[in-house]
Chain A
Amino acid sequence: MRLKQVSVFVENEPGRLEAILEVLEGAKISIRALSVSDTAEFGIVRMILDKPEEGLQALRQAEFTTRVDWMLSAQIPDVPGGLLNSVAKPMAKAGINIKYFYAYIGHAGEDKAMVVLKTNDIEKAEEILKSLSVD
């Protein structure tokens, strides 16, 4: 499934993540998944929100630097090798580069885990996930 990810640029300083979360709380937006990638100076906060457009608007109003990207979600079996066999192996075999991925609180059953991933070829990656019925 395709999902919209909202990314925010933050300086690596105390209180910045808090500021983002306060904006989202104020707009009554819930975070479904979150990943932070950082250097010593700055970070990129990537989020899957229950209401991405509203969240984006609230963050922009608060003068954050933001962007939106399409991501793919995959529901994978919650067993050893699940991620390997349902995502990593088939993508590698198809020559698709996974740029990054992180875990996602979806509404899957107890025996499933969810991840969101960004690849260099969303169309092809989507087909692969569909063919494996993990989309």
Chain B
Amino acid sequence: MIRDPENESMPRERLERLQLERLRAKVGEVYERVPFYRRTLKEKGVTPDDIQSLADLRKLPFTSKLDFRDNYPFGLMAVPMEQVVRIHSSSGTTGKPIIAPYTRHDVDTWAEIMARTLTSAGTTENDVLQNAYGYGLFTGGLGFHHGAELLGATVIPTSTGNTKRQILMIQDLGTTVITCTPSYAITLHEAAREMGVDLRDTTLRLGIHGAEPWSEKMREDIEDRLGIIAINVYGLTEVIGPGVSVECPYKCGMHIWEDHFLAEVINPETGEQLPYGEEGELVITTLTKEAQPVIRFRTRDIISLNPEPCDCGRTMVRMSRLTGRSDDMLIVRGVNVFPSQIESVLLEVEGVEPHYLIVVDRQHAFKTDELEIWVEVSDEVFSDEMGKMENLEKRLRSEMDSVLGIAARIKLVEPRTIARTEGKAKRVVDRSEL
């Protein structure tokens, strides 16, 4: 199902005309209203009039996460506070939270984009949608909530946590669609199993998962364990929240809503634009956002873009599955591995302190053949029985395998083994450094 065929299936020529028109207007707007953009454009010697074609996009300066921090809280805002109706925020990787203000129009646009997103994933007005993304400052909860209401589905705003109640709701209220992070989907399965409930026997038929990197193997696991179709969704607080892109039922990449978000892929080292199909860092320019538009935002997410028309009928470009952040990516036997994925597994296996070290044999830059993960054994998980310790090791190994998509060696170590550093811990070391 396509909610808005006129826009979602627009011929690419017409789409590009629309994008250029919107880009020019937006660049003019931020140049006039946001001192930060006026300064960065001037530094590059660019004025809004220099944007004559979409190819001129590359003349514009990038905006980074650091720029959000440096201009905290309202330095990137393009409207007076009277026009802002809501503010979301995310924890941000650099210490200060990322502030995301929305005008009335932004909130409405977001709901429409989310209704589109949910429809693309396969949700209809007849569905009962249980929204287990966190409600509050995080964009996930309210983003999905308003989209689902606009679509006309029945929303159960369970938010995160209270897993037993989530399962009770699924059973008793006839939930057909669950929206949550992929790791929470696995948690639901495990809790259900402990309660003697097989989620495959419930009305649940569809899961829409995002907000953290996950692998194709994890999708298979979720689909198998919950008896659902699992759809990948993508978004960023800096851009709008969830709903930047989503898969269609063909599951062959996430369609980016290009009438609202202009996407490019760059070489993260040089900043040079890369052609379609090549893997690099995703950069997004918002075309319709009012309260806080962003020009050439460096997402740090590594993906590739595919502009081929999709069997679903949409013309919007598809981005590949996202595996993590450009700043800490490793390539192990050709598979991209991110410390964030490893962290999510450790957090899931109860009691394991997320103190870990990834040991690689990095003779060829960031490529390695062996992945070894050292995990500190805390008092909570330590057992005097060897069988239990071996089970812990086995469980970590199989969860890592599922999440990373490749096998990793797990080594249980004493707390003293992994050096504590001030601030951000060093997570990856070369074997030669040990």
Residue-wise interface mask of B (398-430) relative to A, using a CB-CB cutoff of 8 A (1 in contact, 0 not): 000000000000011111110000000000000
Question: Counting CB contacts under 8 A, is A86 at the interface?
Answer: no
Contact A66 to B382, CB < 8 A, known contacts A11-B414, A41-B411, A42-B412: yes
Given contact pairs A44-B389, A63-B416, a sample of 5 additional A-B residue pairs in the complex whose CB atoms are under 8 Å apart:
A7-B382, A9-B377, A11-B414, A69-B384, A118-B385
A12-52 vs B, CB cutoff 8 Å, 1 = contact: the mask equals 00001000000000000000000001010110101000000
Q: How far is B388's CA from A37's CA once the two chains are assembled, in angstroms? A: 13
* Residue A85 is within 8 A (CB to CB) of chain B in the complex: no
Which B residues are in CB contact (< 8 Å) with A5? Answer: 384
Also in contact, A39 and B379, with CB within 8 A (given A11-B413, A11-B417, A63-B415): no
Given contacts A11-B413, A41-B412, contact A65 B385 (CB under 8 A): no
Indicate if B55 sits at the interface (CB-CB under 8 A). no
Q: Quick one: CB contact mask for A45-72 with B, threshold 8 Å, 1 for yes?
A: 0100000000000000001111101000
Chain B residue contacts of A41, Cβ below 8 A: 411-412
Interchain CB contact under 8 A, A10 and B382: no
Taken residue by residue from 107 to 126, chain B's Cβ proximity to chain A (1 for < 8 Å, 0 otherwise) reads as 00000000000000000000
Task: Determine whether B386 belongs to the interface, using a CB cutoff of 8 Å to chain A.
Answer: yes
Cβ of B389: which chain A residues have Cβ within 8 Å of it?
42, 44
Q: Please give the distance in Å from B399's CB to the nearest CB on chain A.
A: 18
By beta carbon, the residue of chain B nearest A67 is B382
Interface positions of A (Cβ within 8 A of B): 5, 7, 9-11, 16, 37, 39, 41-42, 44, 46, 63-67, 69, 99-100, 118
Residues in A with CB closer than 8 Å to B382 are 7, 9, 65-67
In the bound complex, residues from chain A placing their C-beta under 8 Å from that of B411 are 41
Main secondary structure of the interface of B (DSSP, over half): loop
Asked whether A39 lies within 8 Å of B383 as measured between CB atoms, the reply is no
Residues of chain A with a CB closer than 8 A to B414's CB: 9-11, 16, 63-65
A65 engages B379 (CB within 8 Å): yes
Q: A65 touching B384 by the CB < 8 A rule? A: no
Contact call A67/B384, Cβ cutoff below 8 A? yes
Asked if B386 and A44 sit within 8 Å, CB to CB, the answer is yes
B378 CB–A CB distance under 8 Å: yes
**A66–B380 CA distance with the chains assembled, in angstroms:** 9
Does B390 have its Cβ within 8 Å of any Cβ on chain A?
yes
Residues of B within 8 A of A65 (CB): 376-379, 382, 414-415
B residues 349-404 touching A (CB-CB < 8 Å): 376-379, 382-386, 389-390
Q: Is the CB of A66 within 8 A of B413?
A: no
29 contacts between A and B (CB under 8 A): A7-B382, A7-B384, A9-B412, A10-B414, A11-B413, A11-B414, A11-B417, A16-B414, A41-B411, A41-B412, A42-B377, A42-B389, A44-B383, A44-B385, A44-B386, A44-B389, A63-B416, A64-B414, A64-B415, A65-B377, A65-B379, A65-B382, A65-B414, A65-B415, A67-B379, A67-B382, A67-B383, A69-B384, A118-B384
Q: How far is the CA of A114 from the CA of B166 in the complex (A)?
A: 53
Q: A10-B414, A65-B415 are in contact. Are A37 and B386 (CB under 8 A)?
A: yes
In the A-B complex, list the 4 residue pairs whose CB atoms are closest, starting with the nearest: A7-B384, A65-B382, A37-B386, A65-B377
> Which residues of chain A have C-beta atoms less than 8 A from B386's C-beta?
37, 39, 44
Which interface residue of A37, A42, A46 has the most chain B CB atoms within 10 A? Answer: A42
Give chain B residues whose Cβ lies under 8 Å from the Cβ of A46.
384
Whole-angstrom distance from the CB of B170 to the nearest CB of chain A? 35
Chain B residues with CB under 8 Å of A42's CB are: 377, 389, 412-413
Q: Which residue on A lies nearest to B412, using beta carbons?
A: A42
Contacts of B376 in A (CB 8 A): 65
CA distance A90 to B406 in the complex (A): 48
- In the bound complex, CA of A90 to CA of B385 (Å): 22
Give Cα A64–Cα B383 distance, bound, in whole angstroms. Answer: 13
B385 touches A99 (CB 8 A): yes
Report how far A100 CA is from B385 CA in the complex, Å.
Answer: 8
Cβ contacts under 8 Å, A64 to chain B = 414-415
- Residue of A whose beta carbon sits closest to that of B387: A99
Inter-chain CA distance A65–B390, complex, in Å, is 16
Cα distance, A55 to B389, chains bound together (Å): 23
Determine the distance from Cα of A15 to Cα of B207 in the docked complex, in whole angstroms: 51
A66 cross-chain contacts in B, Cβ below 8 A? 379, 382
A63–B378 Cα gap in the complex (Å)? Answer: 10
Rounded to whole angstroms, the CA-CA distance of A42 and B381 in the bound complex is 14
CA distance A90 to B386 in the complex (A): 25
Give the residues in chain A near B383, CB-CB below 8 Å.
44, 67
| Shortest beta-carbon distance from B375 to chain A in Å | 11
Given A9-B377, A66-B379, A67-B379, check contact A44 B384 (CB 8 Å): yes
- The 8 A CB mask of B176-201 against A (1 = contact, 0 = none) is 00000000000000000000000000
* Alpha-carbon distance A24/B386, docked complex (angstroms): 23
Task: Give the nearest-CB partner of B386 in chain A.
Answer: A37
Chain A positions within 8 Å of B416 at CB level:
63
Q: Tell me the smallest distance from the CB of B418 to a CB of chain A, in Å.
A: 12
Cβ-closest chain B residue relative to A99: B385
